[in-house]
Structure 1
Amino acid sequence: MKLLKLFGIVFFCGLLSPSRGVLSGLSCAVSPGAMQKVLSDAVIQNGLLQKHLQGLVLPNIMGEGGLLNSPTSITGLHLVQVRLPKLSVVLLPGIGVQLAISARLDLSGNCLVGLLSELIDISVDVTVTANIKCTNFELGAVQVVIDDCFCILGAVKIKLLSGLLSLSVNDIVLNQLTATLPGLLCPVIDIIVNLVNIQFLGTLNAVIPVGTVGTIHYQLASLPFTSGLSLGLDLDGAVQQVGGSIIPHDSSASALPPLHDRLLVLGLRQSFLNAILSLLIQVKPQTFICSPEAFSGAKQLQEAILTLFPSGCSSCSVTAPLSIRIELFGKPLILLENNKATVELSAMILVFVKRLDGSILNLLLLKADLSLNVHMSISGSSLVLALSLGSTSLSLESSDVGISDISSLKPHCSQLLVEMLLPLINGCLGTGIPLPNVLGIPLVKVDIQILLGLLVILV
């Protein structure tokens, strides 16, 4: 029986080994308990099960053996209420997923026993179980295969207003329900899970804006896979500039840490984060007068530069205030090591004066290679990075006035960059990196681990 496109790509596909032909930007593992909770919320707590079973009408039940062995007919039998619904999920390693929905169905109809007509109420416990697997992942499409869907009936209670009921009527009702309920309930479950499929696929295939600078398109990168401990998903994150092209990122396979008692483990690979940093960190060149109003160490920096002028320099008479231009150079690079994350980036610092005749005298062109410490946190559904200065390496690119020794400038330039550049970079990062809303699992009580080449978020 065809019961599914059941959470199609997501839940019940996993039943083959993960495809390693696609190296994705993200990987995650979802615990069986988390799967059970999100499915139970979607199917039961949100009322889908009650809503789609509400119109259930059963075939008439005809039989012999009523009161005084008179013919018995039960007509108009319909569902009144679904009580005590419960959903459970079991991962079947290498085979598939077993989904079971159990509930007590309260039915009501008209009963004709001989010439006596009255209302009849039937309460039946039922469990619908489906064994599901999927194969043939190609271009985001998955073929879902249902091995079986069957119903098991538990206790059946029958109540007539007169209270007159023979054991044979009880047997007739039980036999008829056993024969008809699977054919009625499995199609209803099929409808429900297809609706949930649409809902949850949206959490794995979504285009999310990154502030105003671009988007990340999250989508499944390969066939989901199951073990006895988790559902595994590989996701691709296509990072694209607004009105521009996709920023490529190369990824290598990396193992996630075990779930233990966690609901979700999400791993972001270093190359994926680098693509996002290239999108986020877009700082325009900054040009300003070297004055205390601009930054606190202006006077000390200017004095230090003037002392470096070589003696006898005919062009070194500087009367106008110094001007500074800071511009990022190259792309930022995040490095993930065990328990440590740093961002490396470079900036060019040009110190110049504008003479009275309008000409420009370039005193110094410096290259600053920065190593920035990274603090990571989760805000809402985003990963937020905050940078602080770790170390600075300063090198001289050129000088029109013959300056050659810049060793005394390092502390002043470091202060300059901390005050004038770092706030701009952190402002770019303040938007945060939007994370995929995997199966709707909220990112609360989160821990962050930094491994070699992998950032791990544990929920």
Structure 2
Amino acid sequence: MTMLKLFGILFFCGLFSPSQEVLSGLSCAVSPGAMQNVLSEAIIQKGLLQQHLQGMVVPNIVGEGGLLNSPTSITGLHLVRVRLPKLFVVLLPGIGVQLTIVTKLELSGNCLVGLLSDLIDILVDVNITANIKCTNFESGAVQVVVEDCLCVLGTIKIKVLSGILSLSVNEIVVKQLTATLPGLLCPVVHIVVNLVNIQLMGTLNAVVPVGTAGTIHYQLASLPFTSGLFLGLDLDGAVKQVGGGIIPHDSSPSALPPLLGKFLALGLRQSFLNAILSLLIQISPQTFTCTPESCSSCPGTSGLSITLALSGKPLILLEENKATVELSVMIQVFIKGSDGSIINLLLLKADLGLNAHASIVGGRLVLGLSLGSILLSLESSDVGISNISNLKPHCSALLVETLLPRINACLSIGIPLPNVLGIPFIKVDIRILLVIVKGLLGTTLAGQRCQGADAKSRAGTGSR
């Protein structure tokens, strides 16, 4: 049975199923609650809905009736404010996102009934429901289409300054607003949704620096897809070295395990991580004189020199509840002859198994490594040394004291994570879990957001 290795960070989400054979570097699932918070902030809290409804032109209302059967005319109707707007999201499997906006619209205008002129205030309960579907994927971007927009008017309250308004005028206002407002509101929703789409897609298409070593270009890899539990997104993560080309990495379809009640699940594939590790862990050979000051395991006044050099590329391996970085190091122990020649006492190869601990710091995935295992092999010796069985403790101490701090310093830069829809990564607990990918075994490193953030979501504050 083939083993698919998948590195994932799960913050706030439910079940994430295979991404329909899409090959990419990362996959993520966004819960309905997260989508509701994101869209509520973009559309309502930032005033986008109010701003675009403000420009809405409401037709004049004219009709027969009123006092003494005089004609009625209501002109200059305009939006004063949007009261108590609320937004709700439902994910429609295979279709998209159903968006519902419930609010009260406060309108004001001039009312002429017969010879009586007055100011009129109208308060309308509005319920707008629209299905949002992603389409036309190209170059990391998608368009959105608003389908089946339905606008239902509820209670309509009418008030004039004089307090005199006949039932027939009420009927005229209700009838004409019911006929005209839905045709005005749905186009505004379409405009707002398209603006929000541009804003949110911008979070999924960004080039972020990885220290001074290179960059990662995160980009949407395919059309988003939905189930009743999540919105699924596949991302490409192109890793590029400064002054060089893109570091290739293989990709595979994957699945994320369920984390009910959470907002977002993010899975980073093992091959993607390996590409980033080869970008981060670039250490030039280090040569030093072997003294107690440079290494506690070195004898004093030995005259020995040691060179440490990485051999090959680092490789991260994921097993259930365990992450290991495999790394090979060449250890050369030599002395200089009186004529300046180099006498190679030992050339050793150390195959290291480094235990990896992952954490999230400032929106970046930071790996910290510690020595787990070491396998020594003799490559060559100019002086005929063949038995190295007693050198393992000394080499272990040497690498822990001199090489590991340099590697961890490289990794401390962290791997910048994609800013998925602006949802922040906060106080994450990470673990490796077993998942199933279409009958194949895989592993995922998982974590979850702090409980305080989830509590805010349940309270309906709209806070990210």
With structure 2 as the length reference, what TM-score do the two structures score? 0.88
Q: Secondary structure at the match of 1:232?
A: strand
Partner residue in 2 for 1:223? 223
Partner residue in 1 for 2:416? 434
- Of the three residues 434, 444, 447, the one matched with 1:454 is 444
Give, in angstroms, the shift of residue 85 of structure 1: 0.5
Q: Distance in 1 between matches of 2:33 and 2:427?
A: 16
Question: Is contact 1:29–1:259 with CA below 8 Å preserved after alignment?
Answer: no
Question: Is contact 1:268–1:456 with CA below 8 Å preserved after alignment?
Answer: no
1:336 partnered with 2:326: no
Question: Is contact 2:320–2:432 with CA below 8 Å preserved after alignment?
Answer: yes
Partner residue in 2 for 1:25? 25
1:48 partnered with 2:48: yes
Q: Secondary structure at the match of 2:249?
A: coil
Partner residue in 2 for 1:5? none
- Of the three residues 366, 369, 393, the one matched with 1:387 is 369
Partner residue in 1 for 2:181? 181
Q: Secondary structure at the match of 2:391?
A: helix
Partner residue in 2 for 1:363? 345
Partner residue in 1 for 2:148? 148
Q: Distance in 2 between matches of 1:454 and 1:398?
A: 40
Question: Is contact 1:320–1:354 with CA below 8 Å preserved after alignment?
Answer: no
Q: Secondary structure at the match of 1:159?
A: strand
1:405 partnered with 2:387: yes
Give, in angstroms, the shift of residue 35 of structure 1: 0.4
Q: Distance in 2 between matches of 1:322 and 1:267?
A: 47
Question: Is contact 2:297–2:398 with CA below 8 Å preserved after alignment?
Answer: yes
Range that drifts further, 128-137 or 378-387:
128-137
Question: Is contact 1:447–1:457 with CA below 8 Å preserved after alignment?
Answer: yes
Give, in angstroms, the shift of residue 91 of structure 1: 1.1
Question: Is contact 1:342–1:372 with CA below 8 Å preserved after alignment?
Answer: yes
Once the two structures are superposed, what CA deviation does each residue of 1:238-269 show, in whole Å capped at 9, x if it has no partner? 11101111111112222111131111111111
Q: Secondary structure at the match of 1:407?
A: coil
Q: Answer with 1 or 2: which has the greater Rg.
A: 1
Give, in angstroms, the shift of residue 183 of structure 1: 2.3
Partner residue in 1 for 2:130? 130
One-letter code aligned to 1:108? S
Question: Is contact 1:254–1:454 with CA below 8 Å preserved after alignment?
Answer: no
Once the two structures are superposed, what CA deviation does each residue of 1:56-79 show, in whole Å capped at 9, x if it has no partner? 331111011112221100011111
Q: Distance in 2 between matches of 1:64 and 1:33?
A: 49
Give, in angstroms, the shift of residue 143 of structure 1: 5.2
One-letter code aligned to 2:203? T
Give, in angstroms, the shift of residue 96 of structure 1: 2.8
One-letter code aligned to 1:332? P
Q: 5 Å matches for 1:74-113? A: 74-113=74-113
Partner residue in 1 for 2:72? 72
Partner residue in 2 for 1:191? 191
Partner residue in 2 for 1:274? 274
Give, in angstroms, the shift of residue 341 of structure 1: 0.4
Partner residue in 1 for 2:401? 419
Question: Is contact 2:144–2:194 with CA below 8 Å preserved after alignment?
Answer: no
Give, in angstroms, the shift of residue 150 of structure 1: 2.2
Q: Secondary structure at the match of 1:421?
A: helix
Q: Distance in 2 between matches of 1:141 and 1:199?
A: 11
Once the two structures are superposed, what CA deviation does each residue of 1:71-129 show, in whole Å capped at 9, x if it has no partner? 10001111111110111111111233211112111111100000010101111011222
Question: Is contact 1:335–1:453 with CA below 8 Å preserved after alignment?
Answer: no
Q: Distance in 2 between matches of 1:416 and 1:254?
A: 40
- Of the three residues 303, 322, 338, the one matched with 1:321 is 303
Q: Distance in 1 between matches of 2:18 and 2:394?
A: 53
Number of residue pairs matched? 425
Q: Secondary structure at the match of 1:198?
A: helix
User: How much is the aligned-residue C-alpha RMSD, in angstroms?
Assistant: 1.7
Which structure carries more relative contact order (alpha carbon 8 Å, separation 6+)? 2
Q: Distance in 2 between matches of 1:121 and 1:413?
A: 84
Q: Distance in 2 between matches of 1:214 and 1:106?
A: 53
Q: Percent identity?
A: 77
Q: Distance in 1 between matches of 2:218 and 2:204?
A: 6
Question: Is contact 1:350–1:364 with CA below 8 Å preserved after alignment?
Answer: yes
Q: Distance in 2 between matches of 1:57 and 1:18?
A: 47
Q: Distance in 1 between matches of 2:220 and 2:447?
A: 18
One-letter code aligned to 1:343? V
Give, in angstroms, the shift of residue 139 of structure 1: 4.2
Once the two structures are superposed, what CA deviation does each residue of 1:311-341 show, in whole Å capped at 9, x if it has no partner? xxxxxxxx97100000000000000111100
Question: Is contact 1:270–1:453 with CA below 8 Å preserved after alignment?
Answer: no
One-letter code aligned to 2:445? L
Q: Distance in 1 between matches of 2:341 and 2:400?
A: 30
Inter-CA distance 333–18: structure 2 relative to 1 (3 Å threshold):
closer
Q: Distance in 2 between matches of 1:432 and 1:409?
A: 34
One-letter code aligned to 2:209? P
With structure 1 as the length reference, what TM-score do the two structures score? 0.89
- Of the three residues 319, 337, 348, the one matched with 2:330 is 348
Give, in angstroms, the shift of residue 28 of structure 1: 0.9
Partner residue in 1 for 2:161? 161
| Ranges of 4+ aligned residues in structure 1 off by more than 6 Å | none
Inter-CA distance 298–18: structure 2 relative to 1 (3 Å threshold):
closer
Give, in angstroms, the shift of residue 354 of structure 1: 1.1
Partner residue in 2 for 1:14? none
Give, in angstroms, the shift of residue 236 of structure 1: 1.1
Q: Secondary structure at the match of 1:197?
A: helix
Range that drifts further, 206-215 or 41-50:
41-50
Range that drifts further, 128-137 or 421-430:
128-137
Give, in angstroms, the shift of residue 46 of structure 1: 1.2
1:204 partnered with 2:204: yes
Partner residue in 2 for 1:297? 297
In structure 2, list runs of 5 or more residues that go unmatched: 1-16, 434-441, 450-464
In structure 1, list runs of 5 or more residues that go unmatched: 1-16, 303-318
